Homo-oligomer: A and B are copies of this chain.
Amino acid sequence: MKASPALILLGVTTAALAEEGMWTPDNFPAERVEESYGVTIDQQWLDRARLSTVRLTGPGGCTGSFVSSLGLILTNRHCVESCLAEHTNETRDVWNDGFYATSPGTELRCSDLQAAYLTDIREVTTLVNAATEGLEEVAANDARRQTFTRLEQECETASQTDARCEIVSLYQGGQYFLYETRRYDDVRLVFAPDVDIGKFGGDPDNFSFPRWTLDMAFLRAYQNDEPVSPDAHLTWRRDGPERDEAVFVTGHPGTTQRQLTVAEYQFLRNAVLPSWLIRNAELLGRYREFALRDPESRRMVQEDLERLENGVKFFRNQLAALLDDRLMVAKSMEEKTFREAVASQRELAAGIYAWHQVDRALAALSTFYDEYIMVERRGGFQGELMDQARALIRAATERDKPNEKRLRGYTDSQLPLVEQRVLSTSPIHMPLESLKVTFGLEKLREILGHDHPIVRKTLGNESPESMANRLIANTSLDDPAVRKKLWEGGLKAVERSKDPIIRLMRAVDGDARELLDRYRDEYQAPLREAHQSIARARFAILGTSVYPDATFTFRISYGTVSGWTESGREIDPFTRLEGVYERATGEKPYALSEAWLDARPSLDMSTPVNYVSTLDLTAGNSGSPVIDADGRIVGLAFDGNQYSIAGSFWYDIEKNRAIAVHPAIMIEALERVYKADRLLAEIELSKD
């Protein structure tokens, strides 16, 4: 049943292999699943899975699933940590101690989180293509963006259920869809375990297996201060899946790049990843040293630190994958075969120009890539205050324009999210901001050079450190009330503001926008055209027997519960509770809280804790429900093994594994450690 790696290497531009792929719900390969595993996935299963799965937006970007008729959402602890940080203060440390709302009234509002689920999908490829027909690439790119905004607006206006509408581009622009979602902006924390078990193994065990982590949490979606009633929710199968059983995962995988051209992989390998990694490894060192100052500093930086640790690990493994000649050789062979196929078919042959277009786009981007990253992408202007200032300035400017002419992040559909971010009452930690601002300005000068006009304009005669100190000492942007006033005052208020961070971001906004224009016109426009041509050729040869790259939109994967072989040794797919107590050294990240130490005698040591499967997933699937063929929860995805990271570029069925929390340990913990009776009464267990 499993494909050999040789087949992957040689099976160039073939359809996806068994167990590979993050499928859209309208193109799920149910027949292939039935052939392989003898289980039937029907439309009802697919609809229920889709309607039960929520996308969590906010810092990170995760998945969750409805598990009760009162809007209860199961997700990972690491997906709700911005909320834990928000509610941690001198008197209450929910970050470390965890949280359980014993009554509905004590649930905690998470001001940075929103939840949404997908209610409808409509293809609009013809409309988008009609709007760009015959235009040269820059004009086509502009027309495409305006069409996106117009279609979204029309969709939202027409909706009778206050739906949010979003254009989704799949197959690198081979297809366009309108995705309608129902979104809830009021999301509250119901439960999270303590940090010791919730992040057991911490950064050392991240992307590793065997693993013993209870990375779970519950949220609840509210509307008008009442819990919502979702269209569907999932029940639980406490004993979880069998070994080799077919399982499924729904969620919002973030980004894969399995269909790039070889030139793009080389650009990632040579330019993007090394510079990101070297820059951010330094920032990681700063965060770690900052955390050592005192417990208060550690608390401030914790969340950023962990996100960055995860990012550095992820991208360094991505770089390792791209530096592995096996990958580059396979991709080159695949591309060569594909190009030959394109060139040999008369009606596709013009498509061969696409690869030259990619080369041209990359050559253009190379000439201003550092400036784009440093200025428009704020690599040189780091920190939340800079982000807030940018958002305030741009929102004020864009709101005065017709919807279609605005930057895509500031359309009517997006503005409420910007507003929520700008008005968030999450505390901003100024000592940490100071670190970030200093770091950004240092990188700005280091990477663009002391004599670059934007560096000169930004720093004048100041050093990065003293400028950062001055900005932080004199800004009042950390006050939500100040931001609210600026938001409401619009362009005039922003222009009159004497806040030094607003002034700085205004001074460079023209440069930043110019770089964004160049990015769009010189890089994105030709690249989009090229990808679209390549996608069309791919459809012509393969149809939709392939799946589109991940794009943070709803997908379903299928696979089996299965370990792998590591240096000749079989890795068992399941870990058990006894392993937690064996591994607990007493020192973080291998410590256990008193609750877990006290509960030990009452716990069944053979309870499964985590398990791996061949499910093809990636970042964004954190918090995804693992579902059985009967539509019941049999796991909670929270990570992948180290080989899953190369999954950004290809799927290696021999080694790529998803890691999930087993339902048995979740229920056991709620029952015996946390005594969360209210939750146990609310969720629906359905034992076989």
Contacts and interface: CB of A to CB of B under 8 A. Distances in A.
Contacts of A593: none
A157 interface: no
Given A285-B283, A286-B286, A312 B204 contact: no
Nearest to A587: B463
Contacts of A507: none
12 contacts: A270-B323, A274-B319, A277-B281, A278-B281, A279-B281, A283-B285, A285-B285, A285-B287, A289-B290, A460-B585, A463-B587, A466-B587
Given A277-B281, A461-B585, A466-B587, 19 more contacts: A201-B450, A204-B449, A208-B449, A269-B323, A274-B274, A274-B319, A274-B323, A277-B278, A278-B316, A282-B282, A282-B284, A282-B285, A284-B285, A285-B285, A285-B286, A289-B290, A292-B465, A450-B590, A463-B588
Interface string A290-331: 101100000000000000000010001001100111000000
Closest 10 A/B residue pairs (Cβ): A285-B285, A289-B289, A281-B281, A282-B285, A461-B585, A285-B286, A463-B587, A270-B323, A286-B289, A281-B282
Contacts of A319: 274
A120 interface: no
A156 B331 CA distance: 59
Contacts of A204: 445-446, 449-450
Given A319-B274, A450-B204, A435 B289 contact: yes
B281 A285 contact: yes
A319 to B, nearest CB: 6
B278 A312 contact: yes
A370 interface: no
Contacts of A93: none
Nearest to A208: B449
A409 interface: no
A288 B279 CA distance: 13
**Chain A interface category by residue count:** 35 or more
Interface string A439-469: 0000001100110000000001111011000
A397 B245 CA distance: 59
A263 to B, nearest CB: 11
A586 B269 CA distance: 40
A264 B610 CA distance: 41
A183 B301 CA distance: 51
A205 interface: yes
Nearest to A455: B204
Q: Could you say how many copies of this chain the assembly holds?
A: 2
Interface string A25-62: 00000000000000000000000000000000000000
Given A274-B319, A316-B278, A461 B285 contact: no
Contact of A288 (B269, B286, B293, B445): B286
Interface string A260-283: 000000100110001001110111
Contacts of A278: 277-278, 281, 312, 316
Contacts of A460: 585
Interface string A187-209: 00000000000000101110010
A452 to B, nearest CB: 11
B586 A450 contact: no
Contacts of A266: 325
A362 B282 CA distance: 29
Contact of A289 (B269, B270, B285, B312): B285
Interface in A568-594: 585-588, 590
A54 to B, nearest CB: 34
A253 B130 CA distance: 64
A468 to B, nearest CB: 11
A284 B320 CA distance: 22
Contacts of A208: 449
Contacts of A282: 281-282, 284-285, 288
Contacts of A292: 465
Contacts of A285: 281-289
A204 B450 CA distance: 7
A460 B203 CA distance: 18
A588 B467 CA distance: 12
Interface string A599-638: 0000000000000000000000000000000000000000
Contacts of A450: 201, 204-205, 590
A287 B281 CA distance: 13
Contacts of A466: 587
